[in-house]
Amino acid sequence: MTKHIMLQGTSSHVGKSILTTALCRIFYQEGMSVVPFKAQNMALNSYVTKDGDEMGRAQVAQAEAAGLEPFVEMNPVLLKPTGNACSQVILMGKAVGNMSAREYHKGYSLKAFDTVKEAIRRLEERFDMMVIEGAGSPAEVNLKANDIVNMRIAKYLNAPVLLIADIDRGGALASLVGTLELLEPDERALVKGLIINKFRGDVTILQPALDFLEEKTGKPVLGVIPYLPDLGIEDEDSVSLDDKKTQAKDKANAPIKIAVIQTPKISNFTDFDALSKEDDVNLYYVKEGQEIGDADLILLPGSKNTTEDMLYLRDSGMEKALNEAHEKNIPIIGICGGYQMLGEKISDPLHTESDNDSVKGLGFLPMETTFVEKKLTSQVEAKCLSWEFLGEKLSIDDLFGYEIHMGTTNFTKEANHPFMITKRADKDVQVAEGVINQEQNVMGAYIHGIFDNDKYRRSLINILRKRKGLEALPVSTNYAAAKQAAFNRLADTVRQNMNMEKLREILQDA
């Protein structure tokens, strides 16, 4: 019989995803057959499974921690915000349309719950343990009637709940007590323990507060988890970009500086995490009112609303800054939506993302993109053709990544393609991918995760190093191995700072 444990929070970004990842790793290390689960995720960072299904990246990291290949039952509902109070709804990995918040919460969510229950059934057939992540707070009284990700799941499975608060942002005690007070009696009974997360300092000084919490709520404090900087584990949403900016300050003296343009609808910024882990790279994010600075490379990331983000670049003055950088011969690389913005025109005749019929692009690449109704989602294998970037040749085989896009791109003149996709969704193909300009300083492609490939990433950095008169460095970072080490470090920290004996009692009694 499958055991369940659920992690809920007093608000968003208190550490539910990371602590779910930690428990997945701990149970996996103990030899259990464990799987992560989140009924409904709202995020712009998504991933494509081997079956071509789209799911949230947080569950991908949790799957990796559990020693599993990600599959869509781990996250049956994904909401990808496209604009104010509107999201694209992904059900079991496939887009079913755009919905307003009212349409989804008042009409669709409870219908989607049937799909959620079917996903749970399939997981319970295969796994001994489910580690379940909630979303936001279970005490959002305006959403509770149609909520399918917090207490409805806990009650459906009779799953014990651990309630998490982030002490780093302040008000942790009040948020824990207040959340419990707002729950119904049967919901409150499911909460079996409290967790204080992101603590800095001497835990003995906190002990009177912990004693108060246990006396006030009648719930045990299972652990005080320390603040862990630079975890090396992929983040779920753009809130975590603040943490990345702090990390960038810590590497201000790194010789290679890479600027990522942060747009309002930025998506899949995890594409650049591997670059940020290189010791000689300072990767930082730039938004309106901030300077690109003396960057050696500018990255234009994906977007969930490409035309609106293109207009943002224009209206905010960032397009002007990009043009000035281009005139200074600072190289620019775009991925997915960022790739589309580098072209001459973006058209959306079916209004798949916005009300804009068409928008002029940056004009750096000879191409036009038209959005179509069907989204392409597939894992790919590719090779880097013998092409030149900043006068240096790149030729690398055995690249891996994935595609998530709705646009069809056509070239307005003969183009140089940097990649050849050799396998798409396990089928052998020969598809030219991406484009590089004649000056060899602007390049774009649809392949997400391309920088996760160690040899490609280091080769590109070395081109930037050579341009600055620095010697090339060998591949020294194994990104996949570094992630596994990060999972182990996280698990060790949580194990040391959580009452695991009490947790096992909770699981035994469930």
pLDDT at 484: 96
Q: What does the angle CA 71 – CA 73 – CA 76 come to, to the nearest 5 degrees?
A: 115
- Residues for the chain: how many in total? 510
CB 193 within 8 A of CB 503: yes
pLDDT at 240: 58
**Which residues are known catalytic residues?**
336, 448
pLDDT at 406: 87
pLDDT at 237: 55
Helical (H) or strand (E) element with 178: helix 172-182
pTM for this predicted structure:
0.91
**Ramachandran region, residue 45 (left: φ > 0; alpha: ψ -120 to 50; beta: rest):** beta
pLDDT at 105: 87
pLDDT below 50 — which residues of the chain? 238, 246
Helix axes 172-182 and 203-217, enclosed angle (nearest 10):
20
pLDDT at 231: 78
pLDDT at 156: 97
pLDDT at 73: 98
Phi, psi values for residue 27, rounded to 5°: -65, -35
Give the model confidence (pLDDT) of 451-502 as tens digits. Answer: 999 999 999 999 999 999 999 999 999 999 999 999 999 999 999 999 999 9
CB 176 within 8 A of CB 164: no
pLDDT at 68: 98
